[in-house]
Amino acid sequence: MPHSNGSLFALREVKEPTYDCRLYKLDANTFDTLWSVKYGGSEEDFLSNMIELPDQTMVLAGTTNSNDGDVPYGHTYTAKEIWVLRVDTLGNILNGTTFGGVMGVLFTL
């Protein structure tokens, strides 16, 4: 994702030892990695969506099976949940949340 400050950012899932996510800052000309930071807990966590906010922070969104590590939880953890983080341009977590619970519930009319 191109950022308004001229930087490039990318997300990638990595298995270290369970699936977590890395945010990469890339050189805008060579695409070389300048730095990366890993987010996640002890279970499988995925961040696959990223947008820039007007204040130049970024929102990362995906799903989590963790209730520890970088994954905030303030309620009873039941199953895979939606996971949202807001980070600065250095990859520092500013805030985050999880919500949901049992995903893929079948609704009938």
pTM of the shown model:
0.82
Highest average pLDDT, of 50-54, 69-73, 93-97, comes from 50-54
The mean pLDDT value for 28-53 works out to 93
The mean pLDDT value for 27-55 works out to 93
The predicted structure's pLDDT at residue 98: 84
Confidence class for position 74, pLDDT limits 50, 70, 90: low
| No. of helices (H) and no. of strands (E), the chain | 0, 7
Domains of the chain by residue range: 8-100
The mean pLDDT value for 17-38 works out to 93
CA–CA separation, 1 and 50 (whole Å):
8
Identify whether the C-beta of residue 19 lies closer than 8 Å to the C-beta of residue 41.
Answer: no
pLDDT tens for each residue of 90-107:
999 999 888 876 544 433
